[in-house]
Structure 1
Amino acid sequence: MKKEMTFEAADTELDAILAELSDSETPLDRSLVLYARAAELIAFCNETLQKAQITIDEIDAKNAGKQE
Structure 2
Amino acid sequence: MTRLEEILARMQSGETTLADSVKLYAEAAKLVEFCRSTLDKASLQMDEIDLQLSMAGRQEGQPEGSEE
Normalised-by-shorter TM-score class: 0.7 to 0.9
* RMSD, aligned α-carbons: 0.8
Q: TM-score, normalized by length of structure 1?
A: 0.80
| Structure 2 unaligned spans of 5+ | 59-68
Instruction: Answer yes or no: is 1:36 the counterpart of 2:29.
Output: no
Q: Aligned-pair distance for 1:44?
A: 0.6
Instruction: Answer yes or no: is 1:64 the counterpart of 2:64.
Output: no
How many pairs are equivalent? 58
Deviation string for 1:19-51 (max 9, x for gaps)? 111111121111011000001111111111100
Q: Which runs of 4+ in 1 moved over 4 A?
A: none
| Structure 1 unaligned spans of 5+ | 1-10
Counterpart selection for 1:26 from 13, 16, 19:
16
Q: Which has the higher contact order (CA 8 A, sep 6+)?
A: 1
| Identical columns (%) | 43
Give the Cα separation in 1 of the matches to 2:44 and 2:30. 21
Give the Cα separation in 2 of the matches to 1:40 and 1:34. 10
